[in-house]
Structure 1
Amino acid sequence: MTDISATHVVPSRSAADTASRTRLAYLDGWRGLSIALVLIGHFFPVPGINLGVMGVEFFFVLSGRLMAEILFIERYPLKKFFKRRFSRIYPALLVFVVVSMIALSGTFIAFKWKAALTALTFTYNYAGILFTRAGALDHIWSLCVEEHTYVILALISFVVSGRSRVIALLGALSVLAMANGAISYWAFGMAYEATYWRTDVHIASILLSAVICLLKADDRLPALFRGPHVALVASAAAVLLFIDPVPTPIHYLVAVPLLAFAVNSLDFSARYLTGFLSSRPMAMLGLWSYSLYLWQQPFYKFVYSQGSAPLPMLAGVFACALCSYYIVEKPARAWLNRNW
């Protein structure tokens, strides 16, 4: 859901501009693919596989790659980093929560003010497990994980010096988080939400991708993962591992690392893959992805719980999301970045 992307260092300004645009295009396309999976999984579910859950993982591994580039390779100033994160995330989130609280008052997914407060303070993923939740806000758990990870990665970038130490630390934290999830789910019999909504478990998806990104930047990634078809093969293998018969922890122990390799291998991919991701429909979906992510949840709840027709509900998602993007998200981000 992040919209910042690193640029390649190349000899001339025109070449740099071209490289930047190309890279942004297929990363936007990856975002577009991510939100497409979420929307298909929620409104037109495919039996035997949870495409919505998988779409969230596509988002997470992209965040890991971009955060590694921004914080550890570019060494982006932290003050500016957090200002841009706030301007990107918070205005649209605030409007979504307030409008939804008013619009959904009295419905079967009526808001609770405590749940809304936890969404706006990025504590919903734990609060939703422990004491309060609202169906139209349940998707905010993943946004909480991202925001918590931004803070952790920024702190590491400030405190830890030396790329090798950073890679070792992020790798160790990834392994601990994955083990934490597997033990919580298998040994303690905790439910999916009680296990995989938690940042101390789900942070692994982002950190693993960050580790692979840094290994790639240091030219320490094995040649096997630099082939033109790696991203496609790894993604396809991950999709197969997300089918229902595969135990949930395997999704995160095996499938997510494959997705992390896939998103970091896009730079070496064959033109047919980057061309597809860079296509205008995929790139535009990527640009709208955050607003689509915010607004799909209440409409999805009407389909899931009330049996509402999915096509009109999906049309409602796009109507609200496009209004959010062009009226709230984009102008608020531009104004805050220009004046703050």
Structure 2
Amino acid sequence: MIRYRRDIDGLRALAILPVLLFHAHVPGFSGGYVGVDIFFVISGYLITGIIAREVDEGRFSLARFYERRFRRIMPALALMILIVLAAAMWLYLPGDLEGVPRSALAATLFASNLWFFTDTGYFSGGADVKPLLHTWSLAVEEQYYIGFPILLMLMARFAPHWRKGAVAGIAAGSLALAILLQRDTSGFTFYLLPTRAWELFTGALLALGAVPAIRPRWAREMLAWAGALAIALAVACYDRTTIFPGITALAPVLGAAALIHAAPGTSMGRVLALPPLVGVGLISYSLYLWHWPLIVFTEYATDAPLAGATRIMVVAAALIAAILSWRFVERPFRDARRVPAGMVFRFTGVAMALLCIASLSLIAMGGWPSRFAPPVLAQMAGQRDFAPTRKQCHDTYMRGAAPCVLGAAMRPDAMLWGDSHGVELAYALSLQAKAQGQALVERTTSSCPPVLGYDTKDARCAAANRAALAAIRADPGLRRIYLAAFWANGEFDDPAFIAKLDRTIAALRALGRDVVLIGPVPPQPFDVPRRLAHLARAGAVTDAQGVKRAWVDARTVHLRALFSRWQAQGVRLIDPVAALCDARSCAIERDAKPLYFDSHHLSVAGAKWVVAHGG
């Protein structure tokens, strides 16, 4: 029997606090997202221990198991989803509201990981407008617990001696798949059960006794502190650029497993059992539920990331909401004397039905645009002002999609080679080309700048760029090559990267091609159509102002230093900074139209303006 362990509640605190502080942008917690992986290990350990014990004793019941899951999960979750829907209806602009009821429906049905996996791309809205994004991890757990109890029941009946081996084998297969697909950019590895199950199975293997007990006190001390150190290093050293999950997830997962296995009776076990950590651990589920919507809605309302006093207030509000949720929702429903099993199932059925009806009703309303005046809607329409050719012509997931020919129905004499920043520019250039009876090839791949040898994020970038150069070499008719990328993202203004770009330009010129470099687009610290819609709502669109010109110049200093040399060599420059910025700041709208469809991709209106005024 698994007895209550205060140190595991303390470990829950080590899971939820990094998640909270990471989402609140607190320095030093850039890898705080690994807290979710720690939760998976804890859940696998505790729930497997209960199931295995009851299966071995011949008293396991699926109905009783799901009653406990519903009792634990549904009341606080249903309340949170209901309040999120109400808050989004009041706060969100139409284009941002549309996704909320869809995610609410998915969260209610424990399928939000599947929804967010499919709801990826440039037009689905970022995490900053998805107040239910965090429910993906609950969906992973519940999907896991659909099949896992049945597996243990079958193993107990037909192959009891193979139980540990079978679980270990499935865990190894899941881990291998996660490592194999760790560079996948579609979201499969992050969101879906097959590549996350091994984390739950790690805890399950501990509960099943697959790992021998460690007798020497010194060994348990060392292992427990090593586990805490592994978690701390992941929290402090990982960041948004870390390839995760995959092999990097081993540190927090094995660290959590080490603490579960070795901490009792050690100094680290006593640290984890301290009352403040235990207290946070007790409210960790509610804190996980409430912290993310509070952060998302605050950042949406203020149009800025959490910082300073706002950050402190939101973190405090999340803790207060979690305490209230735990005290008045979680605890009463977990008391079988106050809420019997029949009531739990009735409540779950009614709550899920009502949430589904509410979500479907909001979906049918399509963002409820009648709440806003036409000027607000006109600015929000900028979120959809992307190239009509983007979906079929842009290789979003580096899968080798065929390039498109745009413009007149004739053999192309130019190519735009670039990443996602090139799509709308290619479309704007193709309109010019069509008017002149010419055509253009668009060859764009997400996150892959047109730089030979670039493979920092994914080796497929290098392959895509080699293929682009081969296509240019094979077609002498492609006389003019446009190069476009997110040059101002901070990563690319590195001398080593610029040297590779320089060699790429030299390689194209050696082939006798005219090179046109489309310079950096000034990124904005906010979603441009949303900011303009907020200003329109307040009747203050004339106050619209973008990022400072000096900031853009500083972010691209190494790149811009070579412009004169390249131009002296015959390279033509189209400069978005010159087109969009004056001496002080950069524009975000022209003629009452947003120049971006998000924070850094030019809209069609913006691309047309840059092509016409940038060089």
TM range (shorter): 0.7 to 0.9
Please, which of 218, 233, 241 is the counterpart of residue 240 of structure 1? 233
Give the equivalent residue in structure 2 for 1:42: 23
The alpha-carbon deviation at position 151 of structure 1 amounts to 2.0
In 1, the alpha carbon distance for the partners of 2:299 and 2:91 equals 14
- 2:86 is the alignment partner of 1:102: yes
Give the equivalent residue in structure 2 for 1:229: 222
- Alignment of 1:336 with 2:336, yes or no, is no
* Secondary structure, counterpart of 1:227 in structure 2: helix
Cα distance per residue 1:46-76 (max 9 Å; x no partner) = 357311x111112111111112211113436
Give the length in aligned residue pairs: 313
Q: AA paired with 1:66?
A: L
Instruction: Find the residue that maps to 1:6 and give its secondary structure.
Output: coil
Cα 1:74–1:29 change in 2 (3 A) is farther
Secondary structure at the aligned position of 2:27 is classed as coil
Question: Which runs of no fewer than 5 residues in structure 2 stay unpaired?
Answer: 344-615
Query: What is the TM-score with the length of structure 2 in the denominator?
Result: 0.47
CA drift of 1:95 comes to 0.8
Give the 5 Å matches for 1:174-185: 174-185=171-182
Asked whether the equivalents of residues 21 and 29 of structure 2 are also in contact (C-alpha less than 8 Å), the reply is no
Work out the percentage of aligned pairs sharing the same amino acid. Answer: 24
The residue that corresponds to 2:66 in the other structure is: 82
Q: Please tell me whether the aligned partners of residues 131 and 297 of structure 2 are also in contact (alpha carbons under 8 angstroms).
A: no
Query: Residues 303, 204 of structure 1: CA spacing in aligned structure 2 closer, same or farther, 3 A cutoff?
Result: farther
Q: Which has the higher strand share?
A: 2
1:210 aligns with 2:204: yes
In the TM superposition, 1:155-174 aligns within 5 A as 155-161=150-156, 162-174=159-171
The corresponding residue for 1:220 is 212
Going from structure 1 to structure 2, the CA distance change for 1:329 and 1:222 (only over 3 Å counts) comes to closer
Match of 1:68 among 31, 42, 48: 48
Q: Which has the larger radius of gyration?
A: 2
Q: Quick one: distance in 1 between partners of 2:298 and 2:171?
A: 36
Q: Distance in 2 between matches of 1:208 and 1:86?
A: 24
Residues 125 and 141 in structure 1, CA contact (< 8 A), matched pair in contact too = yes
**For the Cα contact (< 8 Å) 1:213–1:264, is it kept in 2?**
no
- Is the Cα contact below 8 Å between 1:87 and 1:337 reproduced in 2? no
SS of 2:258's equivalent? helix
Compared CA separation, residues 318 and 239, structure 1 to 2 (3 A): closer
Q: Aligned with 1:215: secondary structure?
A: coil
Partner of residue 6, structure 1 = 2
State the alpha-carbon separation in 2 of the partners of residues 6 and 54 from structure 1.
Answer: 25
Give the drift of 1:93: 0.6
Residue 37 of structure 2: aligned partner = 57
Q: Deviations over 1:147-200 (max 9, x none)?
A: 1122222111211125541211111111111122222233xx324x33211111
Q: Which residue of 1 aligns with 2:602?
A: none
SS of aligned partner of 1:83: helix
1:250 corresponds to 2:253: no
- CA shift for structure 1 position 266: 2.4
CA RMSD of aligned residues (A): 2.7
Residue 96 of structure 1 contacts residue 295 of structure 1 at CA under 8 Å; is this kept in 2? yes
1:325 is aligned to 2:326 = yes
Are 2:118 and 1:130 aligned? yes
Partner of 1:46, secondary structure, is coil
Letter in structure 2 aligned against 1:80: R
Contact 2:230 2:251 (C-alpha < 8 Å) held by counterparts: no
Which residue pairs with 1:17 in the alignment?
none
SS at match of 1:26: helix
Aligned to 1:13: none
8 Å CA contact retained: 2:18, 2:35: yes
